C-alpha cells in the first residue's frame, strides 16, 4: 500500500494538484462538537444547509461507512498580483481572486476524477467517491488531519509550502492507504488575518461569525445587508481576500499552473458603473463559466450598489439613481442607500 500511495501521489501531481495527503474517515473526532457550537450560536447565518445532515458533516465515516481512506488534494490558484491593491480603486469593483476566471468546482472535479480512475485501475475491486463542495464534507479539518496544512486563526487552511491560495478536493475510497501525520498550528503570535478584517468577523482566534464575513454577505446572504455592515464592505462585490492576502506564509506560495485560474482582464477591477447596468442576460453572458453566476444578477447588482455608495464618487450617482425602482426589493433598497450616501 505504501508503493500504491507513492504512485498515487505521482499521478496526483501529474494531474496538476500541488499537494496530497491521506487520513482516516474518523480522523477528526472533535469536528462534530465544533460544528454544533458554530450552528447553535447562529454564526452560519442564512446557510441553513449547514444545519442539515449534521451527523454526516461531523463524522465523515457516517457519510460513507465503507470508506477506509480520505485522500485530500490541494489545487493551487495563487494570484499574480496583490489582491489588496485593488481596494484602493474605489470607483471600481474588487472580485475575489478565485472567482476571476473559471469555476474551480468544474476544474478540480475533473482532476479528482482522473486521479480516482487511476486508483481504481491500480486497485481493482475498490470504489471511490469524489467531492468538491458537493456534499456535507468538512474539507478543512480533513485536510489538516491529512497533513496538507492547518486551519489558521481566520479558520481557512494554509500551509508552510503553499501559503493560502489553494482549493481542496477529496476522494473517499475503500482502499486502505497509509495515513499521513496531521499538521500542527504554525500561526504563532501572528494576528494579521484578524486585524485586517473590515467587519471584525472573528469573535476570537480560530472562530468565524459568518454573518459578519464579507464573503458570506456578498455570496450567501439574501436580501438587504445590515447598513452598518454594508458601509464596511468597501468595493468588494464578490467575496473577500483580505485575511488570505495578508498572511505571512504566502511568501512560500507556489504559482498556479492552470491558466484557467488567471484573471480575465474584464474582471480585474471592472468599473462599478458598467456592472450596475447589467440586466439578467448581460450578467449571464459576462459570468458564463464563472462561480459568480450562481448568485444571480439581483444579488450581484445589490453588491455593486453598496460599492457605489461606498465609493465617494459623486459621478456614480446616476448609475445608482437608475435602479431605485428596480423590481428586486434588495436592489432598489441598495440603490436608494447608495444615492443617499453619495449626496
Answer whether 182's CB lies under 8 Å from 11's CB: no
In angstroms, the CA 178 to CA 332 distance is 56
List Cα–Cα distances, 19 to 71, 119, 181, in angstroms. 11, 16, 14
**Cell triple for 180:** 499521513
In angstroms, the CA 311 to CA 339 distance is 11
Q: How many residues does the chain have?
A: 343
Indicate whether 121 pLDDT > 90. Answer: yes
What pLDDT band is residue 136 in, cutting at 50, 70 and 90? Answer: confident
Indicate whether 111 pLDDT > 90. Answer: yes
Nearest to 180 by CA among 143, 142, 146: 146
Numbers of helices and strands, H then E, in the chain: 15, 8
Residues ≥6 apart with Cβ < 8 Å to 100? 263, 264, 267, 268
DSSP state of 234: T
Instruction: Provide the CA 9 distance to its chain's centre, in angstroms.
Output: 25
Q: Which residues are catalytic?
A: 133
Nearest to 225 by CA among 244, 208, 212, 238: 212
Rounded mean pLDDT, 307-314? 98
Q: CB atoms < 10 A from the CB of 125, how many? A: 7
Instruction: Tell me what the pLDDT averaged over the chain comes to.
Output: 96
Answer whether 305's CB lies under 8 Å from 337's CB: yes
The tens digit of pLDDT for each residue in 41-71 reads 999 999 988 888 788 888 999 999 999 999 9
The tens digit of pLDDT for each residue in 254-277 reads 999 999 999 999 999 999 999 999
The tens digit of pLDDT for each residue in 149-193 reads 999 999 999 999 999 999 999 999 999 999 999 999 999 999 999
**Cell triple for 305:** 450598489
The tens digit of pLDDT for each residue in 37-47 reads 999 999 999 99
What is the helix (H) or strand (E) element at residue 10, kind and residue range?
helix 2-15
Indicate whether 126 pLDDT > 90. Answer: yes
Q: What does the pLDDT read at residue 58?
A: 85
**Cell triple for 186:** 504554525
In angstroms, the CA 341 to CA 330 distance is 16
Q: What does the pLDDT read at residue 54?
A: 84
Indicate the fold that domain 2-79+102-173 takes in CATH.
Answer: NADH Oxidase (3.40.109)
Indicate whether 78 pLDDT > 90. Answer: yes
The tens digit of pLDDT for each residue in 187-237 reads 999 999 999 999 999 999 999 999 999 999 999 999 999 999 999 999 999
What ranges do the domains of the chain cover?
2-79+102-173, 201-342
Amino acid at each position: 500500500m505504501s508503493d500504491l500511495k507513492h504512485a498515487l501521489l505521482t499521478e496526483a501531481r501529474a494531474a496538476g494538484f500541488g499537494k496530497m495527503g491521506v487520513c482516516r474517515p474518523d480522523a477528526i473526532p472533535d469536528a462534530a462538537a465544533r460544528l454544533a457550537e458554530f450552528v447553535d450560536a447562529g454564526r452560519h447565518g442564512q446557510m441553513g444547509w449547514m444545519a442539515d445532515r449534521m451527523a454526516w458533516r461531523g463524522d465523515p465515516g457516517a457519510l460513507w461507512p465503507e470508506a477506509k481512506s480520505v485522500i485530500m488534494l490541494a489545487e493551487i490558484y495563487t494570484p499574480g498580483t496583490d489582491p489588496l491593491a485593488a481596494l484602493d480603486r474605489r470607483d471600481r469593483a474588487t472580485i475575489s481572486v478565485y472567482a476571476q476566471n473559471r469555476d474551480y468546482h468544474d476544474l478540480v472535479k475533473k482532476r479528482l476524477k482522473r486521479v480516482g480512475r487511476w486508483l481504481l485501475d491500480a486497485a481493482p475491486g475498490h470504489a471511490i467517491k469524489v467531492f468538491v463542495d458537493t456534499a456535507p464534507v468538512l474539507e478543512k479539518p480533513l485536510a489538516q488531519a491529512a497533513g496538507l496544512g492547518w486551519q489558521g486563526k481566520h479558520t481557512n487552511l494554509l500551509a508552510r509550502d503553499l501559503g493560502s491560495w489553494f482549493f481542496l478536493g477529496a476522494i473517499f475510497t475503500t482502499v486502505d492507504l497509509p495515513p499521513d501525520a496531521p499538521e500542527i498550528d504554525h500561526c504563532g503570535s501572528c494576528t494579521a488575518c484578524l486585524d485586517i478584517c473590515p467587519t471584525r468577523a472573528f469573535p476570537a482566534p480560530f472562530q468565524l461569525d459568518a454573518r459578519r464575513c464579507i464573503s458570506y454577505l456578498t455570496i450567501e446572504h439574501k436580501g438587504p445587508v445590515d447598513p452598518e455592515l454594508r458601509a464596511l464592505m468597501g468595493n468588494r462585490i464578490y467575496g473577500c481576500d483580505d485575511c488570505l492576502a495578508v498572511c505571512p506564509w504566502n511568501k512560500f506560495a507556489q504559482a498556479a499552473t492552470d491558466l484557467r485560474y488567471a484573471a480575465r482582464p474584464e474582471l480585474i477591477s471592472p468599473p462599478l458603473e458598467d456592472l450596475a447596468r447589467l440586466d439578467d442576460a448581460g450578467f449571464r453572458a459576462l459570468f458564463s463559466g464563472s462561480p459568480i453566476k450562481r448568485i444571480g444578477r439581483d444579488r450581484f447588482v445589490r453588491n455593486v450598489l453598496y460599492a457605489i455608495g461606498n465609493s465617494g464618487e459623486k459621478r456614480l450617482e446616476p448609475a445608482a439613481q437608475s435602479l431605485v425602482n428596480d423590481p428586486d426589493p434588495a436592489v432598489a433598497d441598495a440603490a436608494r442607500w447608495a444615492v443617499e450616501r453619495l449626496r
